[in-house]
Structure 1
Amino acid sequence: MPRASLTPAAIVTAARRVADDEGIAELTLRRVARELGTGPASLYRHIADRQQLLHLLADDLATGYPLTRAGRDPLDRVVRQWHAMHDYLAAHPWGARIIADGQYALPSARPIAEHCVDQLAAAGLDRETAVRAYRALWHLLLGHLLNAHPFGHLHGARGDGTDLDRAVRWLVTGAAAT
């Protein structure tokens, strides 16, 4: 009989801790079991394999995306939303890699997509352009998070949050102008 505290939710929480602290490469069922103070066999009652664990972890990530509503005007709200998503994913560095790998199309990510597209439409983009801008903003965000190599950055400096904010504004205003 599995421990009362050993649930899929507890396993995902432990997996998130391991991934946040040690990186996604270190995320194994054996490592998560050690984090929970149990053996890997106990986890197999709840999780079939590492692939399922990664799927559950990606789902957990998606359900945690921040949905911002504050901002002086619609464009400010868009910028705040993408900045909040940047900060959220920066706190879970493995998340950008999972998203970029594209293996998980999760229903739990749909509310953030709809929220972002609605914000882009409120900022003056028609629905089709808003969807395209949403995709482009994901590429921008993931590139910003995954580009750890300084080559190509002026003076070897990495971009900061203001660079991302400026790029989001440029992308949205440019899309609105087309």
Structure 2
Amino acid sequence: MTPLTRPHIVAAGLRLLEREGVDGLSMRKLADELGKAPAAVYRHVSDKRELMSLLFNEVSRRIVLPDAGDDPRTAIAEAVQSAHRVLEKHGWIATEMLNGGLLGATSMRLSEFILDSLVRDGLSDAQAARLHVAIWEYLVGHLVAARATAPGLSPHPMAGTDEDYPTVCRVAPLVAEMSDQERFSAGLMVLLDGAFAEPRASHGGTAACEEPSSVSRSAAGAVE
């Protein structure tokens, strides 16, 4: 009989999660998926919360971080766009991040990449922190909004006519023509353009790395 390992548990957990959603995931169902007794699973994973973090880490590993190079704006854009492509394939992630239920070491790679790229380009720690939070909140918010409803500008037919909303009616078709990735990239570039236009400031002291604060947790893992 093949020994049960964490990689086996993670693979089975992802299959179960994608098939039945977060509410349908339980340690007992996971044991059934593996064909093992629940006690065997608990020897490797203590509870559902730890399991969710393991699954999030597994998905996060698929985020591609480019070489930082001499163009941090482009490098950050590529990294965040990769994160968007990876995370949008797994609808459960955005919801769980909003609930503060996902904190994983793997996703720290993206945060470290963003913050380090910004600081090396001359932004202060405070400036980098603000943009970092804005990027994560935009990323998670976009993932949630995309699942809830298709973005658009078209007013409800009963709300008015072209004469009431002339600009909306003119611009709405342009929004409708954009793909989800194009809409995300457009907003991301607005964030980055504004941040990189800021004057460079002298750096403050750098605090030692500590546990994520409540602010970072509410920012959906932004400072993981």
TM-score bracket, shorter-length normalisation: 0.7 to 0.9
| C-alpha separation in 2, matches of 1:151 and 1:4 | 45
Is the aligned partner of 1:164 residue 2:162? no
| C-alpha separation in 2, matches of 1:123 and 1:177 | 12
Q: Which has the larger radius of gyration?
A: 2
Shift of 1:32: 1.5
Q: CA RMSD in A?
A: 2.8
Shift of 1:54: 1.9
| C-alpha separation in 1, matches of 2:63 and 2:57 | 10
- 8 Å CA contact retained: 2:60, 2:107: yes
Higher helix share: 1
1:52-104 Cα distance to aligned partner (Å, 9 max, x none): 32232233344443212389943222221111000111122222222222244
Equivalent residues in 2 for 1:95-174, closer than 5 Å: 95-121=93-119, 125-147=123-145, 148-150=147-149, 153-155=152-154, 160-174=180-194
Q: TM-score, normalised by structure 1?
A: 0.81
Structure 2 residue corresponding to 1:90, chosen from 72, 78, 88: 88
Residue ranges of structure 1 left out of the alignment (5+ in a row): none
Using the TM superposition, name which of 86-95 and 64-73 deviates more.
64-73
Q: Give the secondary structure class of the aligned counterpart of 1:68.
A: coil
Q: TM-score, normalised by structure 2?
A: 0.66
Residue ranges of structure 2 left out of the alignment (5+ in a row): 156-175, 199-224
Aligned residues: 176
Percent identity, aligned pairs only, is 31
Using the TM superposition, name which of 16-25 and 121-130 deviates more.
121-130
